[in-house]
Amino acid sequence: MIKHKRAVGGALALAVAAGVVVVGDNVPRRDARATASAGDDARLRELLRRLTTVDGGPGALIEMRNRRGNSTVLTDGVADVESREPVRGDSRFRIGSMTKTFVATVMLQLVGEGRIVLDAPVERYLPGVVRGNGNDGRKITVRQLLQHTSGLPDVLAYLDLREIFENPLAHHDPRDLLDLALAHPPTFKPGKGWRYSSTGYLLAGMIIERVTGRTYGDEIRRRIIKPLHLRQTYVPGESPVIPGPNPRGYVRPGEGAPLMDITAINPSVAGAGGEMISSGTDVNRFMGALVRGRLLRPAQLRQMMKTRPTGNADGRAYGLGLESRPLPCGGLYWGHTGDVLGFETAAGATVRGGQATVMVNLGPRGTDAQSADMKAAVETALCAGRS
């Protein structure tokens, strides 16, 4: 989540089941079958190498699965700039704003159960919470929170990264984060524009808790993580630990400054907008299940996939916690990106069954070139996965 430089993008990776190929620096090949053609494989290796050399990331990983169910993991670079340990194919990492897709899925499940109404005002569920400086929960709907059309100021614009760098383990209460955002006027009237705002997802997390009596993290675990057997996915709350094998997460605190290790951070600074941890395997499994209708009823999945343009020249459009992009080989793919302290991620999935997820352990001040190469890697993998 911190700091999400652009809208969202990509998504995915389905499980590394039988037929996985793992290839990277000092990572052994575990199977002779490969998902991509030789040309696609060479292109993906080139993109990973760019991410860890030209673009400046310490390490990179992509996990992909084609529609026949064959999976491949490719890695490049290092997980730790001091030990020079290579990136592992089974790495866990912070997924930042991909958390929003999990939150939106729970919200839409509650819509399907008749417990939340998409076009009801936020005031119905959180009376008096959204008030001040022209921000009015009586005029903003639940749908607008999830689609970034509320006009609410983005809390990410007002966080002081220097304070976070100095005290990464500090607790951040969601109400304090909300107050920080609402101290500023809206960017437009509700429904009259599109602008990415993590503030809406802080409110979505609060609505889930108000409606269910359980935290949004508990509902994600109960409704998504357990049913899909996502054994490498966590809603960490206050814990600064990334369970299991993981690359170190780095930031560049200033122009030309050396990398700073910020792996251990209190994720409450991101909250429902970006605190989760996962892996390529689990992200792919989740995204594949979502776009193929395993998590939502048809009516709610249609609502999630009902997009509006974001104003980006590349054709991106945003639904409810899910973004579509055109594929270079034709058609659309669905996904999200994540940009959180220490990591940048992108994932994508097609309805026909391909998935791909890419991670670089440097964020949120990665370059535009890093983001572009991550997007290209997801799209190359998804187009290759059609074969």
Joined tokens for residue 251: 């930031």
User: What confidence tens digit (pLDDT) does each residue in 51-61 have?
Assistant: 999 999 999 99
In a domain, 1, yes or no: no
- Helix 280-291 to helix 99-112 angle (10° resolution) is 30
Domain annotation covers residue 319: yes
**Mode of pairing for the β-strands spanning 332-340 and 92-94:** unpaired
Distance from C-alpha of 29 to C-alpha of 217, rounded to nearest angstrom: 36
Residue closest to 43 by CA, chosen among 89, 74, 71, 16:
74
In a domain, residue 110? The reply is: yes
| 2 inside domain | no
Specify if 13 maps to a domain: no
Instruction: Please report whether residue 91 resides in a domain.
Output: yes
Helix (H, G, I), strand (E, B) or coil at 312: coil
Domain that holds residue 192: 21-384
**Structure tokens of 122?**
């936020």
> What's the CA gap between 281 and 91, in Å, rounded?
9
Strands 323-326 and 21-23: unpaired
Q: Please say whether the dihedral angle defined by the alpha carbons of residues 141, 147, 149 and 154, taken in this order, is positive or negative.
A: positive
Question: Which residue type, as a one-letter code, is found at position 312?
Answer: N
Residue 120: CATH number of its domain = 3.40.710.10
What are the catalytic residues?
Answer: 97
Asked if 174 and 208 count as a contact pair (C-beta separation under 8 A), the reply is no
Query: Residue 125 corresponds to which tokens in the numbers above?
Result: 């569920």
pLDDT in tens, 116-125: 999 999 999 9
Distance CA 85, CA 90 (A): 14
Q: How far apart are CA 158 and CA 149, in angstroms?
A: 19
Per the domain annotation, does 63 fall within a domain?
A: yes
**Domains: count for the chain:** 1
What pLDDT sits at residue 380?
96
Tokens 């990415």 correspond to 196
pLDDT in tens, the chain (387 residues): 444 433 333 333 322 222 334 444 433 333 333 444 678 889 999 999 999 999 999 999 999 988 887 889 999 999 999 999 999 999 999 999 999 999 999 999 999 999 999 999 999 999 999 999 999 999 999 999 999 999 999 999 999 999 999 999 999 999 999 999 999 999 999 999 999 999 999 999 999 999 999 999 999 999 999 999 999 999 999 999 999 999 999 999 888 889 999 999 999 999 999 999 999 999 999 999 999 999 999 999 999 999 999 998 889 999 999 999 999 999 999 999 999 999 999 999 999 999 999 999 999 867 889 999 999 999 999 999 876
pLDDT at position 168: 96
Percent of the chain topping pLDDT 70: 90
294-to-19, 57, 143, 297, 301 alpha-carbon distances in Å: 24, 35, 21, 8, 10
pLDDT at 365: 63
Contact criterion met (CB below 8 Å) for 20 and 73:
yes
Residue 197 lies in a domain: yes
